[in-house]
Amino acid sequence: MAARKVILDCDPGQDDAINQLLAMSSPDDLEILGITAVAGNVPLPLTQRNARLICDIGARPDLRVFAGREEPLQRPLVTAEYVHGANGIDGIDIYEPDHPLQEQHAVDFIVETLSAAKAGSVTLVPTGPLTNIASALQKAPDIAQSIESIVLMGGAMREGGNCTPSAEFNIYVDPQAAKIVFDCGRPIIALGLDVTHKVLATSARVDRIRALDNRAASATVGMLDFFNRYDTAKYGSLGSPLHDPCTCAYLLAPELFTEKSCNISVEVDSELTMGHTAVDYWNVTDKAHNAMWVHDVDADQFFGLLTERLARFTG
Ligand code: BDR
Ligand code: CA
């Protein structure tokens, strides 16, 4: 089967970076049309730099990286250096990468790529605030027809929020954008905290990656060692949740995950619950189903997949 065409839209972020490596490790499964950076975990100049740095680490000079929106659609940017460090991908050697930044704006790249694509042929993989994707849909609504599905990390139901009591970070940072995306009419696969909090980077799992001998695996371990500090203290868990790699893992091995079709609506009015994802898991409304809510995963197999794919890198 031909590789699935994907656009990675991200705000690296250690977990975005590991997701990028996972995608880059799997060219037979995933054809990366482009990597679009958005402001989120850290400001845009750092997220686009980090995406390029990860291309360097994964030795993929062929990949194009685009910088997108610097601010959410309507609200001021909220960042998360307290989780990810001042650089977003702290834990590895940070430098200005050789890998170039494309001149074209990420939103224009998304519009142009989807406009030229066959109906239902491109999968969007957003792992940050949904500002770039929503902007593209606002700019050229017809591009929706080219979207095969949107496999995103965002939202929370049973777990509650991780940056407010009600909201998960990616949705909270740009709730208006999230609403546009959830209402766009194309298939949405939402991997929120209910599933990502089951994917814990325990020391035994990280040690299996540590045993690999290549640059991508070493970078993954460096980032995980840093990332683990904050979340293990916050949650009292044995490792940090590896949120964003759930998206590409879902594309590579959907059988590892369990999901349910339902309606998901995004709160954009209440300051108290801004960015809350109202997941109608039990069908208590008659709202049309607009998403698959992923709520379970085989975490051991997830880490088995990640480790096996990281082992594919050479050098
Ligand atoms: C999400 O927020 C970011 O901090 C992570 O990169 C992930 O995308 C988890 O809530
Ligand atoms: Ca992210």
Q: What is the pLDDT of residues 215-225, one digit of tens each?
A: 999 999 999 99
Q: What is the rounded average pLDDT of the residues 284-305?
A: 98
Tell which one of 20, 198, 244, 277 to mutate to probe ligand 1, the residue whose CB is within 8 A of the most ligand atoms: 244
Residue type, 223: M
Show the CA angle centred on residue 183, arms to residues 182 and 184, nearest 5°. Answer: 95
Q: Please enumerate in sequence order all residues whose Cβ is within 8 A of that of 254, keeping only pairs 6 or more positions apart, or say none.
A: none
pLDDT tens per residue, range 117-153: 999 999 999 999 999 999 999 999 999 999 999 999 9
Ligand 1 atom at minimal distance to the Cα of residue 16: 6
Cβ of 80 less than 6 Å from ligand 1: yes
Find the 13 Cα to ligand 1 centroid distance in Å. 7
Return all residues near 127 (Cβ < 8 A) that are at least 6 apart: 8, 9, 10, 11, 13, 15, 16, 19, 152, 153, 170, 243, 244, 247
Catalytic residue flag (residue 243): yes
Nearest CA to ligand 1 atom 2: 169
Confidence tier at 236 by pLDDT (50, 70, 90)? confident
CA atoms within 13 A on the CB side of 307: 16
Residue pair 267/276 in contact (Cβ under 8 Å)? The answer is yes
Annotated domain spans of the chain: 4-310
Give dist(CA 242, CA 288) in Å, integer.
30
Q: 53 near 47, Cβ under 8 Å?
A: no
- Please, what is the Cα angle at 138 between 155 and 269, to 5 degrees? 45
- In CATH, which of 3.90.245.10, 3.30.360.30, 3.40.250.10, 3.30.390.30 is domain 4-310? 3.90.245.10
Task: Find the catalytic residue in 243, 276, 289, 295.
Answer: 243
77 pLDDT more than 80: yes
pTM above 0.75, yes or no: yes
The most distant pair of C-alpha atoms in the chain lies apart, rounded to whole Å, by 54
Cα dihedral angle (72, 99, 248, 90), rounded to 10 degrees? -70
C-beta 267 within 6 A of ligand 1: no
**pLDDT score, position 237:** 77
Distance CA 266, CA 243 (A): 19
**Cβ(197) – ligand 1 distance below 6 Å:** no
Tens-place pLDDT, residues 157-177: 999 999 999 999 999 999 999
Nearest ligand to the CA atom of 191: 1
Instruction: Give the chain's mean pLDDT.
Output: 97
Q: Which pLDDT tens digit goes with each residue over 26-66?
A: 999 999 999 999 999 999 999 999 999 999 999 999 999 99
